[in-house]
Amino acid sequence: MTPKKLFTGLTGIILLLGSLLTACSVGPAAPGNQEGQLQIVATTTFIGEVVEQVAGDAAQVTVLLEPGQNPHAYQPAPRDMVRISGADILFSNGFGLEEFLGDLLSASDFSGIVVEVSQGIGSLQIASGSQAGGNPDQGSGGIDPHVWLDPNNLMVWTENIANTLAENDPENEQLYRDNAARYRLELEELDSWIRSQVAAIPVENRELVTDHLSFGYFADEYGFQQIGAVIPAVTTEAETSGKELASLMDTIRKHDVKAVFVSVDIDPNLAEVVAEDTGVPLVALYFGSLTEGGPVDTYQDFMRYDVKAIASALQ
């Protein structure tokens, strides 16, 4: 069901939500919230973490997607209208990731501002009929939204978030700036660690085959080639064909690919077919979300988990 169809079905209950929205706007503050705090909504767990790192205790942060949810397959629920109705700021990824957002905003009483945290990041375009890395039979076209797979891009997020918070809450500007500077240092250390791990991978093995086209920013930054994907698109909601799968298998054999990397968040059936036919192992990674309580409940843990798995599989 598309987000648009979902909201067509929800129109009958929007009036019923009205009283709930009103109650939320005039009722007591949420637990831990202080009067006058900025009310912030982040679309994904990654954005939520960066906002929390920058805002500290000076803002109330709500995340729409729960840990483990695939952002490509996410469909809003009525409670999401409640969540965003009283928000001052909504931080989104941008680059087409949140296809549901337009309908959600239209169906809610949201009157705040929407900020795309990826502003200033050079987008990667996947050309139709091609793919980064050079398999001419793969690639459905579109902008790659998976900017969070490069911590250098999260440095841009951090700056954008700090600037937005400072502009809308000048009394806490110094707090936001200090928190952003501290978090940027953590990201710089993470970037250095990733480079040390990649250095141990033979150059000829730095080729990535994934379940969908998601590692473009990582590949560009750290010297990999993204040579194929089970679903040759930037979204897991796209489809693949028998011809495309056959082409991918040929690429895997030709390049002597060491592993196919698959997300823990999506059905691995197609990837299992590819692995069985080529004899290449599947390696599970986290792609689209943090988890709750481990093993990747922070961005640092997320990147370290994936990089360790990639380095181990390709050495």
Residues 197-248: tens digit of each pLDDT: 999 999 999 999 999 999 999 999 999 999 999 998 888 778 788 999 999 9
Distances (CA, A) of 72 to 97, 212, 222, 236, 253: 7, 11, 25, 6, 29
| pLDDT of residue 144 exceeding 70 | yes
Confidence of residue 122 (pLDDT cuts 50, 70, 90): very high
Question: Residue 47: is it exposed, middle or buried by C-beta count within 10 angstroms (0-12/13-18/19+)?
Answer: buried
Q: Which residues contact 43 (CB under 8 A, 6 or more apart)?
A: 63, 64, 65, 71, 90, 91, 92, 93, 97, 98, 101
pLDDT of residue 34: 61
Distances (CA, A) of 8 to 3, 12, 251: 9, 8, 43
Dist CA 251 CA 75 (whole Å): 34
Residues 182-192: tens digit of each pLDDT: 999 999 999 99
As a whole-number percent, the residues of the chain with pLDDT over 70 amount to: 84
Given the candidates 3.40.1160.10, 3.40.50.1980, 2.30.110.10, 2.60.120.380, the CATH classification of the domain at 201-314 is: 3.40.50.1980
Residues in the chain: 315
Q: What is the mean pLDDT of residues 11-37?
A: 43
pLDDT of residue 133: 40
Confidence of residue 35 (pLDDT cuts 50, 70, 90): low
Residue 46 vs residue 16, higher pLDDT: 46
Domain ranges across the chain: 3-125+147-188, 201-314
Residues 281-290: tens digit of each pLDDT: 999 999 999 9
Q: Which residues contact 120 (CB under 8 A, 6 or more apart)?
A: 156, 159, 160
Residues 167-182: tens digit of each pLDDT: 999 999 999 999 999 9
φ, ψ dihedrals at 77, nearest 5°: -115, 165
Q: Do domains 3-125+147-188 and 201-314 have the same CATH topology?
A: yes
Count other C-beta atoms under 10 Å from residue 239's C-beta: 10
φ, ψ dihedrals at 10, nearest 5°: -90, -10
| pLDDT of residue 9 exceeding 70 | no
Dist CA 277 CA 274 (whole Å): 5
Confidence of residue 4 (pLDDT cuts 50, 70, 90): very low
Task: Name the one residue in this structure whose structure tokens are 């000829």.
Answer: 204
Question: Domain 3-125+147-188 belongs to what topology?
Answer: Rossmann fold (3.40.50)
